[in-house]
């Protein structure tokens, strides 16, 4: 499938150290009508590393139940143990998800050959669509554009969440994209730029806030109304950096709780609630 538009890497709400499924359902029912293209649970914004195996499966099951076919769902599933990821992806198939968002192996810092073989094994193990997540400042290793082009040749590697942190690399990929391959930015502040350079959309934690405006920026650019898109983008660009001054998703959870969308702003250790200083500034959004 072609991935375009605004994709929501949805937070996981907690209450008293348990997943708050009532708030989770409320979020899904809130965001789908706002025009998002799809939902990606259990990524970094969903605090995937702190989710237990039993919670993981329950969250996948509940996500599919709550979404009820209204938008596609790609589950965050990655790791640095290739055999373990292969086994986990097989368990997802029974839930009829559309695909997975899979981060490049972290900590082990494999070379480009190892990165390719890692995703090749996952691709061979499933018919689910796969979006590769390149975020070297978290993983310790960049996926080079030559490797991305090679990965794009695999049968079910359908796109990339590009958070490489190098505007030159991102621009080169956007100007010379693999065929039938979606390039989605994971750098929220580069959403507008990515679209202008031919990108297909973004997987944007910031789109938890003023979602319709993010969607409208995408629509305006698709309609070649760049002036309207730029005016809308000016307003969004002002608050995006604030959401990442302290570890994601704590600032977003504070906002969602403040506006009554979730019962608690609770995050799991090692993350912490945001500081009072940031709260004061967040209240002005």
How far apart CA 264 and CA 248 sit, in angstroms, is 16
Question: How confident is the model over 163-173, as a mean pLDDT?
Answer: 98
Strand 201-203 to strand 5-8: parallel, antiparallel, or no bridges (unpaired)? parallel
> What is the helix (H) or strand (E) element at residue 125, kind and residue range?
helix 112-125
Quick: pLDDT tens for 181-227. 999 999 999 999 999 999 999 999 999 999 999 999 999 999 999 99
Contacts of 194 by beta carbon, 8 Å cutoff, 6+ apart:
162, 170, 174, 183, 184, 185, 187, 201, 202
- Give the model confidence (pLDDT) of 46-98 as tens digits: 999 999 999 999 999 999 999 999 999 999 999 999 999 999 999 999 999 99
Instruction: Please determine, for residue 31, whether its predicted confidence score (pLDDT) is greater than 80.
Output: yes
147 Cβ contact list (under 8 Å, min separation 6)? 112, 115, 116
Q: Is a pLDDT exceeding 90 seen at residue 232?
A: yes
Q: Is the pLDDT of residue 1 over 80?
A: no
| Residue (of 231, 167, 242) closest to 199 by Cα position | 167
Domain boundaries, the chain: 5-225
Element (H, E) at 118: helix 112-125
Residue 132 phi, psi (nearest 5): -80, 140
C-alpha dihedral (28, 31, 37, 42), degrees to nearest 10:
-40
CATH 3.40.50.1260, domain 5-225, yes or no: no
Residue 111 tokens read as 């070379």
Cis peptide before 249 (omega within 30 of 0): yes
Look up the pTM and report it: 0.97
Residues carrying an active site annotation: 133, 161
- Which helix (DSSP H) or strand (DSSP E) does residue 75 occupy? strand 74-76
Phi, psi of 5 (to 5 degrees): 85, -155
């Amino acid at each position: 499938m072609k991935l375009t538009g605004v994709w929501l890497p949805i937070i996981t709400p907690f209450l008293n150290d348990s997943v708050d499924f009532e708030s989770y359902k409320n979020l899904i029912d809130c965001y789908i009508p706002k025009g998002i293209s799809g939902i990606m649970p259990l990524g970094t914004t969903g605090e995937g590393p702190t989710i237990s195996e039993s919670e993981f499966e329950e969250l996948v099951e509940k996500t599919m139940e709550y979404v009820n076919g209204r938008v596609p769902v790609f589950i965050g599933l990655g790791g640095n143990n290739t055999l373990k990821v292969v086994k986990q992806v097989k368990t997802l198939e029974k839930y009829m998800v559309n695909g997975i968002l899979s981060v490049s192996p972290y900590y082990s810092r494999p070379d480009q050959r190892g990165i390719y073989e890692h995703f090749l094994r996952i691709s061979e193990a499933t018919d689910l669509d796969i979006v590769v997540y390149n975020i070297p400042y978290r993983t310790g290793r960049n996926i080079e554009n030559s490797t991305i082009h090679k990965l794009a040749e695999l049968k079910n590697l359908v796109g990339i969440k590009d958070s490489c942190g190098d505007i030159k690399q991102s621009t080169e990929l956007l100007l010379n994209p693999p065929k039938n391959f979606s390039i989605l930015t994971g750098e929220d502040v580069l959403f507008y730029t990515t679209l202008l350079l031919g990108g297909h959309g973004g997987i944007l934690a910031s789109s938890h806030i003023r979602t319709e405006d993010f969607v409208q920026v995408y629509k305006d650019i698709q309609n070649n109304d760049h002036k309207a898109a730029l005016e809308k983008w000016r307003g969004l660009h002002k608050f995006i950096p604030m959401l990442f001054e302290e570890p994601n998703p704590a600032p977003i959870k504070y906002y969602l709780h403040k506006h009554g969308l979730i019962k608690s702003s609770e995050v799991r250790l090692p993350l912490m609630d945001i500081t009072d200083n940031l709260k004061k500034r967040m209240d002005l959004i």
